[in-house]
Structure 1
Amino acid sequence: MQPFLGPDFLLNSDAAHKLYHEHAADLPIVDYHNHLPPQEIAEDRKWDNIGELWLGHDHYKWRLMRWAGFSEDRITGEASWRQKFDAFAQTMPQCVGNPMFHWSHLELWRYFGLEGTVFSPETADKCWDAANAQLGRPEFSARGLLERMNVELVGTTDDPTDTLEHHAAMLDADLSFKVVPSFRPDKAIKIEADGFTAYLENLSAVSGVSINGFEDLVDALVKRLDRFVELGCRASDHGLDILRAGKETTASRLDAILKKRLGGSALEEDEIADFQNAMLVELGRAYASRDLVMQLHIGPLRNTRTRLFDALGPDTGGDSMNDLAIAGALNALLDRLDRTDELPRTILYCLDPTKNAMLAATAGNFQDGSVPGKVQAGAAWWFNDQLDGMEHQLTQLAQMGLLSRFVGMLTDSRSFLSFPRHEYYRRLVCRMVGGWMEEGAMPPDYDLAGGLIEDICYRNAKRWFL
């Protein structure tokens, strides 16, 4: 019987063991998409206790604590951090089979030296005391935690109206890693959403562009995009709850749609679709001309529980998968950009795992020889970021495209303790590739296999984002 999370966790063959320990374990991390707060990195935040650090941003943990029967007071409410920590300790034994069971222990072990301790109500005091005793040390500040995980790049997620003052401050800081903003213009694209008009007023003020028509809106966004690029931006990101199949239309119609919405009128579905499609095309062209990566995160069903949303707002654990058809709209969007050779390097994600094969096939349609793996079927996302989900995504990509060109894993997390998820991914990849070697599905060539592992765990992401 293997020890729990022992040195050979997930490494079920000699080949997997060799690949992980000789090729993957010590690689730096390029985390090109996450939601870490730039202010906390710029100010090198320190935490008073492990409860605040561990549970303060992590809605993955919050969902499981609710599932285990804890009231909101013990999760996001007025209870003390110790009370919340104890609630999570009571939740942990119930998490067997969930990736959180592995992630949480890896976080305690890799950061706080608690290897071998199984987190539970019985060990809560030990873990609380041991972690808190270390938090005052420099290596447990926001920057220290990133340095300890050998992080080379942090790609945060930022709105076009953000001041970016913290990114600007970090340009002159003596950091061992880069922190760069990623352009996330969702609020300017979701013309149907509440608050759209107020958002455009804010965008106009920040950009210095009076937004009276469609071209003005694009101009305002591009001006902000250029400020992002000045501060090291490598990528954009789009959260597309629905990817609509809009038609190519005229500038006058786009102006009319925008003015109708700014005038307070509700839009028809075809108007929303045409506007959003045109926005994605214009921004895609801007990304291509600046050699930025375009990320499309497609398919969440957001804020489904009204009572939770009213109490806590978005991104608090009330989102799930949607199951909408996207293939036609996605291929049409990419084709519209590709027709004029203005398709940027692109990463496609879908929250519905049944779309993995479609994403891989779509990515293959738009390889043009200009950049290896120019369009990517991106990493298993959110609910799929677990062993079965990652293996399914990687297998489909390998069978339909080139796994060797995959840009690898990311945390997509708000937590400074989430970086052992890269270890989780690397161990799984080594198990898969090692298994192919053991089964005779690929040659027993460690130069070949080791190079593949190093590429899809680090080097490909470095090439794209550094």
Structure 2
Amino acid sequence: MESPVKEKRSLNYVEKPIKVTKFLDDNFLLESKQAQTLYHEYAAQMPIIDYHNHLPPKDLAENRVFTSITKAWIDGDHYKWRAMRTLGIDEKYITGEATDKEKFMKWAQAVPHTMRNPLYHWTHLELSRYFGITETLNEKNASAVYDATTEMLQSQDFGARGLITKMNVDVLCTTEDPIDTLEYHQQLVKSDFKTKVSTAFRPDKAILIGSETYNEYVDSLSKVCDTEITTYDELCDALRQRIEYFNFNGCFVCDHGLSHLYAEDFTESEVKAIFKQRRGGSQVSPLEAAKFQSALLLFLSETYHEFGWVQQFHLGALRNNNTRMLSELGPDTGWDSIGDYSQGESLSKFLDTLDSKNKLTKTILYNLNPRDNALMATMTGNFNDGSVKGKVQWGSGWWFLDQKHGMIDQINTLSNMGLISCFIGMLTDSRSFLSFPRHEYFRRILCNLFGNEMAKGELPNDMEWIGTMVRNICYNNAKEYFDL
């Protein structure tokens, strides 16, 4: 048997240079010429409509100036908090009594360990886009970065409004409870702030009758409405009054954060009795709670339809898992995860009940468990009746899914099982004024998917048409959908 002979390279052989791409350069995440053209010429300059976030309207109304980068960037950010805890950083440096600079130094120490977590990309996009800092953050340069960014934040250009303006935000919607006065939204309407700021109506506390604090909440609602709430009908009247108030103040969208949608059969007499029982101080059974929640949610959705609002349902979070830390720090501090709730049948029944009465308003569905991606993508098609373009939407990757692979999975599943061309795009769902580069992140990923398929011949090289589609997904579809 002949022994294998290695091929000899010619003396004239020249090793092809390996293309080295700088981290976070102009073509970050853009792997083809077509993707680069789509992003730079079509997506990048489109304004932002951020139709769901948790920014404090008080900060916008008063044009808050942040005393440090920690106040603007780390306070309230449970994504960062979870990463720091995982690394064994003491709570003192997260939500505790450490100074702002000490907290920032600990976050900078953590950043190099977050590679391949979206926090690594978001961190450096935000430092670059707001402050022009292109170095990767670590404990060696942390002190200099803290001092430089904190100094910049003292300028009015870097106040709460300035940070929004820098990101070319056309419209944003905060999220408020029915008992909110909306005084800060009213101040913003009278101000010279060019970004339109609206709100989303979030009545979950009025729905979740099993909550230990339910009666306290209804008492607060009663006080705001200046009316007694002892019966179910009075509860509905009070919530309708608040919907009218929100509508008068420019609200055009609501939001619900629920484990799943409720669709139990009920009778009117049952629901009235359940509410009376709870208001009397007695607990209700899980089945009774489900009947009440189904009834009240249907009442609210029919009212949203009457006012022409868009309704949003964020489904699937398993909240407050760590009861010890919940008791110490409260909710929304980083102890939530993906839940494994059954979604399909109740979601279908709920939407069909509204549709059968011709009272299904525009609806956006978000799922937290990725196993439900195909379910959500196909469910929307059941109720898109031709009356409105994209009437029932499957929303962008949410919470644990608003990272690169989560966005790609959402875009691909929607493309395969619906129409990506009708999609209303990204939102931040954030409490941070520095989170808006997430729109850029989404747009780069979107353009890369389209551009690479153009480069491979899977899509035609029709830059004008596909570029228009990209612009629509980034901005125009949302503008049309919300009638802005």
Do these two structures clear the TM 0.5 threshold for a shared fold by scoring above it?
yes
Q: Which residue of 2 aligns with 1:126?
A: 144
Aligned letter for 2:273? A
State whether residues 39 and 447 of structure 2, in contact with CA within 8 Å, keep that contact through their aligned partners in structure 1: yes
Q: What's the counterpart of residue 300 of structure 2?
A: 283
SS of the residue 1:181 aligns to = strand
* Pair member with larger Rg: 2
- Report the Cα distance in structure 1 between the residues aligned to 2:316 and 2:113, rounded to whole angstroms: 29
The aligned counterpart of 1:195 is 213
Task: Return the match for 1:19 from 38, 45, 64.
Answer: 38
- Indicate if the aligned counterparts of 1:171 and 1:231 stay in contact, CA closer than 8 A: no
SS of the counterpart of 2:459? coil
How much has 1:250 moved relative to structure 2?
Answer: 2.2
Q: Does 1:29 align with 2:48?
A: yes
Structure 2 counterpart of 1:88, one-letter code? W
Cα RMSD after superposing both structures = 0.9
Contact 1:244/1:273 (<8 A) preserved = yes
Structure 1 counterpart SS, 2:172: strand
Residue-by-residue CA offset, 1:206-264 (whole Å, 9 max, x unaligned): 123322222211111111011111111121000102433311x2221110010111122
Secondary structure of the residue aligned to 1:243 is coil
- Farther off after superposition, 102-111 or 125-134: 125-134
User: Is the CA contact (8 Å cut-off) linking 1:241 and 1:298 kept in structure 2?
Assistant: yes
2:226 to 208, 219, 222: 208
- Please tell me whether residue 186 in structure 1 is matched to residue 204 in structure 2: yes
2:118 corresponds to 1:99? yes
Cα deviation 1:117-159 (Å, max 9, x = unaligned): 1100011122112112211212100001000100011100100
5 Å matches for 1:15-164?
A: 15-115=34-134, 117-164=135-182
Q: Is the 8 A contact 1:243 1:326 kept in 2?
A: yes
- The Cα shift of 1:291 comes to 1.0
Q: How far has the Cα of 1:463 moved from its partner?
A: 1.5
Residues of 2 paired with 1:243 and 1:333: CA distance?
7
> Is the contact made by 1:299 and 1:324 (CA closer than 8 Å) also made in structure 2?
yes
**SS of the counterpart of 1:277?**
helix
Tell me what 2:379 maps to.
362
Determine the C-alpha separation between the residues in 2 that align with 1:358 and 1:379: 14
Indicate whether 1:299 and 2:316 are aligned. yes
Structure 1, unpaired ranges of 5+:
none
Structure 2: where are the runs of 5+ without partners? Answer: 1-19
Contact 2:261 2:350 in 1 (8 A): no
The answer on whether the counterparts of 2:259 and 2:341 sit within 8 Å (CA) in structure 1 is no
Instruction: State the alpha-carbon separation in 1 of the partners of residues 232 and 418 from structure 2.
Output: 38
Inter-partner Cα distance in structure 2 for 1:451 and 1:318 = 41
Query: C-alpha separation between the residues in 2 aligned to 1:361 and 1:87?
Result: 44
Calculate the TM-score normalised by the size of structure 1: 0.98
Q: Deviations over 1:11-38 (max 9, x none)?
A: 0001100000000011111000000001
CA offsets, 1:153-186, max 9 Å, x none? 1100100011111111111111111111100000
Q: Secondary structure at the match of 1:416?
A: coil
Asked if 1:310 is matched to 2:327, the reply is yes
**Which segment drifts farther, 37-46 or 261-270?**
261-270
Of 348, 351, 363 in structure 2, the residue corresponding to residue 346 of structure 1 is 363
The alpha-carbon deviation at position 71 of structure 1 amounts to 0.8
* TM-score, structure 2 normalization: 0.95
